Structure 1
Amino acid sequence: MEHYDLVIIGAGPSGYAAAMRAVDLKKKTLLIEKKVLGGAGITNGALSSKTLWELSRDMLAFRKNLDRYHLEPPKAVWKEIQSEVQKAVKERVYLLSNHLKELQTNSKYSQYIDFMEGEASIISDHIVEVETKKKRIAIETDYIIIATGSRPRYLPNIPIDEKHILTSDGVELMDDFPKSMVIVGAGVIGCEYATIFSGFGQTKVYLIDKGDSILPFEDPDVVEVIEKNLEAQGVHIHRNSSLSHIERKNGKVIYKLDFSDGHQETFEVDKALVSVGRVPNYENLWKEAVPVKMGQRGVADDDTRTSIKNIFAVGDITADINLVNVGELEGRYAVEKIFGSPKKKLVYENISTIMFLNPEVAGVGYNEKTAQEKGLNYKVVTTDYSTIARAVAKRNTQGFIKLLVTDDEDMRILGMRVVGEQASAAIQAVALLISMNKGIEELAECVHPHPSITEGIQESVRALLGKSILKSGLLKDKVNCYCYDCHKKERVMI
């Protein structure tokens, strides 16, 4: 029986990152994957859906530019879109697989990494069994990392067939753009797909929202911009509604909604997309002799360690934040914890996120809703994109920057949201300062390139410090600073 220092089950973003960190530390490692190298993060997750989003955004911009000159835009061809997405996926898979082959043939690294295609099962805390196409192999290991990811959640009352009623797994298998589509779920993924299909301009999109606004975890000013743009692109939002029935009938999808005011309505569309979260892949992964404890939303872990002292869990299999960058972070961290001592504790407060909407929304740390729930006093500044030269030059000034800091002399950064063009490019410096528990003074005097979106962050900081070029409150909805009192539950302009 071959022995390894570490066996990693799952070669998605978190598992692959863990394997590469183990190679750094010169540990004999086996990486196992039963499907495609790169996992759902590439094949039918972040990369594929974001490629769709990029193509959709290009098409929307193209249509708008032609409309400006009163020209008729051409229609996107689904097969071409589908082909481009597949190319993106293949490029990434090829990169990872080629890199892995180079590692295995390089004398510097080959003794530290093996890769096996097959389905793994944890027989005991130190034995993993792998069923390949040809044989079943037992492997001994000191440590195990579970990185098996997640899949779309199915609901028992929805007959998903991935043909008429789809999850995200079935989107790229479609034959053509549907003329109409209902999306069940108004969270991030549901809103992203609503943005994508409305952007191509060939699908009437309906979005089911159980509340009175989409993205219930975000601040109202952020939601307002996204809702306005979705509706401008023809998306119909079923507010305050719940799905009571859905079925396939004569090649169509029929769905019935119960509204909060008591009335019901029935609708007919070509396709339905179910986007109600994801569930961890853990079925048949370990035997009863290995009592890995489960939580409500995945494997229960304490700083990546499971209830079995030498078995760790990272990525979507856990109940932590289900994002590619978080999974990679956890994968590297788990390896460092197993074989040494990480330089810093794993924290999630400074995780940068991006929602691929119209416009994109980037965030880090607290928004106002979260800060208020925690009972914090804070200062906040909002700076409109129309004050930023780069946004003016791009002829797209829709959006704003919102920065939250503690209401004290230190003015430590609590969080930021950026809504608009190049939002994700503007977030990382603030994420670094949050992780360092720093204030905003460093950003105020930093010389930013001109023109750039990050200049808007600098102006926001200066406004909080009382030394901005554009003074708070003088230009309606341009630059405004407030204090929030958690006891009085009110904002006061400063």
Structure 2
Amino acid sequence: MRFELIVIGSGPAGRRAAIQAAKLGRSVLVVENRIRVGGVSVHTGTIPSKTLRETVLNLSGWRERGFYGLAYRVKKDIEGKDLGARLRMTLDFEIDVLEHQFARNGVRTIGGLARFLDPHRVEVVADGQSEVYEADRFVIAVGTKPYRPASIPFDDHAVVDSDTLVEQLRVPRSLTVVGAGVIGLEYATIFSALDVPVTIVEPRSNFLEFIDREILEEFVHELRQRGVSFRLGCRVERVELDAAGWPVALLGDQRRIRSEMLLYAAGRVGATEDLGLQNIGVPTDGRGRIAVNPSTFQTTQSHIYAAGDVIGFPSLASTSMEQGRIASCHAFGAPLADAPVFFPYGIYSVPEISTVGLTEEEVRLKGIGYECGVARFRETSRGHIMGLQSGMMKMIFALADRKLLGVHIVGEGATELIHIGQAVLNLGGTLDYFVENTFNYPTLAEAYKIAALDAFNRMPSAAQTAAEAAQASIAPA
């Protein structure tokens, strides 16, 4: 059977690529190797982790502790079954919506493992049966899977990865997280919100290098205050199970960390091992990721595209969707507008972190004259109403033209608040927008005006800046 497009994988990139091609009037087949559609994002990644976070915050009474004290709980004893109930309902809803979208747009879906036979044919194996499908074009959107080195004794109970953690939810008495990347930090802080003692082990001395350092310092300070331990610059040499079945991590500096559960979250690899890419001349790197043209998402085979986590950074559901859409549009010659320069990055830890634009470190490296403004959530009326004790927004403006350069937020609602900054940044807005416009009161979004005024009070006036620029232009060489 022949299609104009075959999409391998039904996560954010795959679904958007398939639906976009269908809207262009093309025949589309989606191959998914799980029983139900949704990909990593729905089954073990984005949706489960964010659902788990919301469940923990609600059941633990986390958001109300600013008023009622650290001992406040909505539910006293929270167990794995409490966490799983909401997760199953959410996943069923997400899958139902996705299946309806495919059906409504005439996208055909089949379950099975796809493998390239040659540049225009794939074999799909399911339940011991195989069938060959042909297509003019392909989009590879298989996502990633947790990196599981042979030296770590995974048993999917005491020693787990991020997939098995959500598949068999339980609340351990203590937790060690190996890897201070986005996934490791999200789960570390979620369990910390349940008052589980957490130790984070990271072989590098720094982590989340793409986050503004001041925001990260605020984040780490809050985690340390609630008892999270960091072991930075320490490599896990090996993991052993003691007589009680508890994992013990032995570090390179001879320290030992014992906990009831160990989450190994030190990276992910592209799920490309069984795709038969060697049959079509599409190479992968050491972590199974596929290199693509960053503008079109074409691989070394011009009619074969790749999108989503399988191509690497930034590995966000939001950007993966856009990559899938762009790939389909390019494949079928549909017009494409230029992509916005800046996109937001969200980390759904407790507290949240979200950022868009340049960090202060990047501004310095570019040699741009700048000023920063900061707003603390506890200083806003809405923050006080909510009982917030922490959280901050940092805004960076250029001195020369007062344009917004970056917005960085840590705290409640950061991933929602960031979109105001994203819009102003991509539209080339300035500090004056925030100073002159009215924000709903009381809201956390007021922090934009507070931070802008904080920067305004330290910046020279527009007239002064213009005069200085004019003086510099006529100064003798």
TM-score higher than 0.5 = yes
Partner SS, residue 460 of structure 1: helix
Matched, 1:284 2:258: no
TM alignment of 1:286-435, pairs within 5 A = 286-295=276-285, 298-302=289-293, 303=295, 304-346=297-339, 349-409=341-401, 411-435=402-426
Distance 1:65 1:406 in 2: 36
Q: Which residue of 2 aligns with 1:52?
A: 52
Matched, 1:37 2:37: yes
Partner SS, residue 292 of structure 2: coil
Q: Which residue of 1 aligns with 2:123?
A: 129
1:265 and 1:144, CA in 2 relative to 1: closer, same or farther beyond 3 A?
Answer: same
Partner SS, residue 356 of structure 2: strand
Distance 1:231 1:281 in 2: 35
Q: Which residue of 1 aligns with 2:194?
A: 200
Distance 1:9 1:211 in 2: 35
Q: 1:201-221 CA distances to partner (integer Å, 9 max, x unpaired)?
A: 2x2211113355654443332
1:342 and 1:406, CA in 2 relative to 1: closer, same or farther beyond 3 A?
Answer: farther
Q: Which residue of 2 aligns with 1:149?
A: 143
Counting matched residue pairs gives 452
Q: Is this contact kept in 2: 1:255–1:268, CA < 8 A?
A: yes
Q: Which amino acid aligns with 1:454?
A: A
Distance 2:364 2:159 in 1: 39
Distance 2:64 2:304 in 1: 52
1:443 and 1:334, CA in 2 relative to 1: closer, same or farther beyond 3 A?
Answer: farther
TM alignment of 1:108-127, pairs within 5 A = 109-110=105-106, 113-127=107-121
Distance 2:264 2:327 in 1: 33
Partner SS, residue 288 of structure 1: helix
Q: Is this contact kept in 2: 1:296–1:319, CA < 8 A?
A: no
Q: Is this contact kept in 1: 2:177–2:184, CA < 8 A?
A: yes
Q: 1:91-137 CA distances to partner (integer Å, 9 max, x unpaired)?
A: 21122123333x2xxxxx43xx2111111122222222222336322
1:341 and 1:71, CA in 2 relative to 1: closer, same or farther beyond 3 A?
Answer: closer
Q: Is this contact kept in 2: 1:208–1:242, CA < 8 A?
A: yes
Q: Is this contact kept in 1: 2:176–2:261, CA < 8 A?
A: yes
Distance 1:25 1:387 in 2: 50
Distance 1:256 1:336 in 2: 50
Distance 1:95 1:245 in 2: 43
Q: Which amino acid aligns with 1:229?
A: E
1:459 and 1:30, CA in 2 relative to 1: closer, same or farther beyond 3 A?
Answer: same
1:157 positional shift: 2.5
Structure 2, unmatched stretches of 5+, are: 460-477
Q: Is this contact kept in 1: 2:161–2:263, CA < 8 A?
A: yes
1:257 positional shift: 1.6
Matched, 1:226 2:219: yes
Q: Is this contact kept in 1: 2:66–2:388, CA < 8 A?
A: no
1:33 and 1:295, CA in 2 relative to 1: closer, same or farther beyond 3 A?
Answer: same
1:287 and 1:358, CA in 2 relative to 1: closer, same or farther beyond 3 A?
Answer: closer
Partner SS, residue 438 of structure 2: coil
1:157 and 1:252, CA in 2 relative to 1: closer, same or farther beyond 3 A?
Answer: same
Q: Which residue of 1 aligns with 2:88?
A: 86
Q: Is this contact kept in 2: 1:60–1:199, CA < 8 A?
A: no
Q: Is this contact kept in 1: 2:144–2:270, CA < 8 A?
A: yes
Seq. identity, %? 24
Q: Which amino acid aligns with 1:322?
A: S
Q: Is this contact kept in 1: 2:66–2:387, CA < 8 A?
A: no
Which piece of structure 1 moves more, 186-195 or 134-143?
Answer: 134-143
Q: Is this contact kept in 1: 2:371–2:458, CA < 8 A?
A: no
1:196 and 1:100, CA in 2 relative to 1: closer, same or farther beyond 3 A?
Answer: same
1:346 and 1:123, CA in 2 relative to 1: closer, same or farther beyond 3 A?
Answer: farther
Distance 1:170 1:423 in 2: 28
1:390 and 1:344, CA in 2 relative to 1: closer, same or farther beyond 3 A?
Answer: same
Q: Which amino acid aligns with 1:300?
A: A
1:292 and 1:24, CA in 2 relative to 1: closer, same or farther beyond 3 A?
Answer: same
Q: Is this contact kept in 2: 1:401–1:417, CA < 8 A?
A: yes
Which piece of structure 1 moves more, 73-82 or 181-190?
Answer: 73-82
1:448 and 1:177, CA in 2 relative to 1: closer, same or farther beyond 3 A?
Answer: same
Distance 1:70 1:190 in 2: 26
Q: Which amino acid aligns with 2:43?
A: T
Which piece of structure 1 moves more, 439-448 or 114-123?
Answer: 439-448
Q: Which amino acid aligns with 1:391?
A: G
Q: Which residue of 2 aligns with 1:270?
A: 260
Q: Is this contact kept in 2: 1:295–1:319, CA < 8 A?
A: no
Distance 2:144 2:302 in 1: 23
TM-score by length of 1: 0.85
Q: Which amino acid aligns with 1:41?
A: S
Partner SS, residue 98 of structure 2: helix
What RMSD, in angstroms, separates the aligned Cα atoms of the two structures?
Answer: 2.4
1:122 and 1:377, CA in 2 relative to 1: closer, same or farther beyond 3 A?
Answer: farther
1:442 and 1:49, CA in 2 relative to 1: closer, same or farther beyond 3 A?
Answer: same
1:29 and 1:397, CA in 2 relative to 1: closer, same or farther beyond 3 A?
Answer: same
1:387 positional shift: 3.3
Which piece of structure 1 moves more, 302-311 or 278-287?
Answer: 278-287
Matched, 1:183 2:184: no
Q: Is this contact kept in 2: 1:214–1:227, CA < 8 A?
A: no
Distance 2:134 2:224 in 1: 57
Distance 2:367 2:149 in 1: 36
Distance 2:151 2:71 in 1: 47
Matched, 1:446 2:451: no
Q: Which residue of 2 aligns with 1:22?
A: 21
Which of 118, 132, 137 is the matching residue for 1:138?
A: 132
